[in-house]
Amino acid sequence: MNQKKPIVQISKNGPYIVSGDLPLSKEIIGTNEDGESVKWTQGQKYPSQEQYALCRCGHSANKPFCDGSHMKVEFDGTETASRQPYLDQAEVIRGPVMSLTDVESLCAFARFCDPHGQVWNLVSETDNLPASKSFVSQTCDCPSGRLVAWDNETGKPIEPKHEPSIALIEDPAKECSGPVWLRGGVQLIGADGFEYEVRNRMTLCRCGASRNKPFCDGSHASIGFRDEN
C-alpha cells in the first residue's frame, strides 16, 4: 500500500505537479429537469501515475496534462487568493439545529446550493427533517468547500467522506469544463513553498482565467473553457 503523502505543488507560472499516486478522473455535474445541479456522476478514469503535471494555464493541447504551453503564452499564474484559514474568512449563518459557513471567494459555480430555495434559506429550517436533509446534501456537494454545514450540538462540521483523489469537473449544463477538484485532504503547496490549509474539498483553476488563483472563481463558465481531450 502506497504510504506517500498526496501533494499538489504549484509551479511558478506553470502546472500543478501532483505526487503521491493520486487517482485522477472526471466528475460530471448532473441536473434535474429544471436544470438545477443535483448529482455527481463519475466519468473517465485516467491510468494510475505516481506523479503527473496538470495544465494550469488552460492552453495545453494535451489536457488535462501540461505540454509546456504556459511558456509559449507567458502565463501569469501569480497566486492572489487569501492564505487565511477557512474559518477566519467565513461568514457564519446560524440555524436552529445546524449552521452554515460560507467563503464566497471560493465559489466554483457548481450551483448545488440552488435547489429547494437555496442553502442560505434552508439553514433557518434545519429543525425540519426534509429541509435539513436537503441542506446537508447541498453543502456536501459543493466541490470547493465554500459551503460547510455544522452540527450546532457537537460544533463539528458535516463533511462528505472522500478518499484522497483528484477530479476534473465537467459541466454539461453550462457547456464548459470546470476546475481541478482536490478531495480527501490533499496538501496544496504554493509556488513559494507556502502550505495552504488542508481541507476536504478544494477547487483549483485550470482555465487560467481565475482572479483568485490558485482557486477557481467560476471564470471557466464565463469564458466557455472546454477540455476537449
pLDDT of residue 229: 57
Percent with pLDDT over 70 in the chain: 98
**Tens digits of residue pLDDT in 101-136:** 999 999 999 999 999 999 999 999 999 999 999 999
Closest CA to 21 of 38, 46, 42, 58: 46
Q: Read off the pTM.
A: 0.96
Chain centroid to Cα 186, Å, comes to 12
Cβ-Cβ contacts under 8 Å for 35 (sequence gap 6 or more): 173
pLDDT of residue 4: 80
- Residue 187 CB neighbour total at 10 angstroms: 17
pLDDT averaged over the chain?
Answer: 97
pLDDT of residue 3: 58
CB-based contact 26:168 (threshold 8 Å) = yes
pLDDT reading at 1 higher than 80: no
CB-based contact 200:160 (threshold 8 Å) = yes
**Tens digits of residue pLDDT in 19-46:** 999 999 999 999 999 999 999 999 999 9
Chain centroid to Cα 180, Å, comes to 6
**Tens digits of residue pLDDT in 154-173:** 999 999 999 999 999 999 99
Spans of all domains in the chain? 7-82+163-223, 86-158
